[in-house]
Structure 1
Amino acid sequence: MRLKPFALLLSLALLPTPSIASEKTVYGLNEYVQLLDIDQRVAAKLDTGAQTASLSARDIKRFKRDGETWVRFYLAIDDAHAHPIERPLARISKIKRRAGDYNPDEDKSYTARPVIEMDVCMGGALRTIELNLTDRSAFQYPLLIGSDALQRFDALIDPSLKYAAGKPACTTDANPGE
């Protein structure tokens, strides 16, 4: 007996297969995130097209403390953030400029941004991620989470959903390195 191609495909589709997605957490296009180090909850846009995460900051200054480079900044979210935040500088990131943001006279196709590490809670998952600092006050979301951080969260993004993970609910004894 010879099976027709459709019947063969149907029978193969019914075979049990291990699900890679079952190990992932489904997040929406936007999620609430708790920045544990500074006790601040913000709305974030999850963007698989961006590599790094970006936090909205203003008055960004580098300084030395005990021989190491640190960064002092203010959150650029609203006027309520009057106190500076200080974090060790993890590295400097080179971010590609968009076509409209490129000035040929400067001869630089990238922007250098300071990067810090921060413990971030999204849903019930706590991870330490890198955040580059830039003024995002012109954007709707003060935090953009890119693919590097999304991988750390074992994220599966469903762009038809918003706030699928609910309010951040990490326990204080959770391990941010997982």
Structure 2
Amino acid sequence: MSDELPVLGWKEHVSLPDWGIPRLRAKLDTGARTSALHVEDDEVIDEHEHEGQILPVVTFHVLVGSRETPTRHEVEAPVVGYKVVRDTGGKAQRRPVVRTRIVIGPLDTEADVTLTTRHGMNFRMLIGRLTMEDRCLVDPARGYLRTSPPPAPR
């Protein structure tokens, strides 16, 4: 089965086409169960029903581009649930979960993504095991196997 799965690097560029985001640097983190996205200015604007529950619809900003001069991309998405996630220090945090399409080279899948604050982290997005499971392999020694690396700083 592994011969059929695409091999991705430990870091790649991802596309979030449902939200109009063509390119975002992400870490493929086999140590994380759930995918996570750094967002800012999240706000509840409405509510919707999902699997018998009334849940919020939120807007938030995704920072796209360079760390020095990012572009703020506004997204509106329904929350499909909540997950309690533990950080590397063991601290638990309850995070909203949204669902979106994620494209990484040949991998094109719909996935649950937790919304969080990742200030000071090297990657604005983590792709967790549940998104990658049975869909790809990750080479921990190499990055950007399926997408081009970011341009070198000037």
Question: Is 2:16 the partner of 1:26?
Answer: no
Q: Secondary structure at 2:142's aligned position in 1?
A: coil
Structural RMSD (CA): 1.9
Q: Cα distance, 1:62 vs. partner?
A: 2.6
Map residues 72-87 of structure 1 onto 2, 5 A cutoff: 72-77=59-64, 79-81=70-72, 84-87=74-77
Cα distance between partner residues in 2 of 1:132 and 1:65: 18
Counterpart of 2:7 in structure 1: which amino acid? V
- CA distances 1:125-148 after superposition (whole Å, capped 9, x unpaired): 211011101122311111100100
Q: Secondary structure at 1:149's aligned position in 2?
A: helix
Question: Is 2:129 the partner of 1:147?
Answer: yes
Distance change (3 Å), C-alpha of 1:59 and 1:159: same
Map residues 56-95 of structure 1 onto 2, 5 A cutoff: 56-65=38-47, 68-77=55-64, 79-81=70-72, 84-95=74-85
**1:174 maps to which residue?**
none
Question: Is 2:154 the partner of 1:163?
Answer: no
Q: Which runs of 5+ in 2 are unaligned?
A: 50-54, 149-154
Between Structure 1 and Structure 2, which shows a larger proportion of helix residues? Answer: 1
User: How many residue pairs end up in the alignment?
Assistant: 138
Map residues 97-108 of structure 1 onto 2, 5 A cutoff: 97-99=87-89
Indicate conservation of the 8 Å contact 2:9/2:146, yes or no: yes
Identity over the aligned pairs, expressed in percent? 27
Indicate conservation of the 8 Å contact 1:76/1:135, yes or no: no
- Tell me the TM-score normalised to structure 1 length: 0.70
Cα distance between partner residues in 1 of 2:13 and 2:70: 20
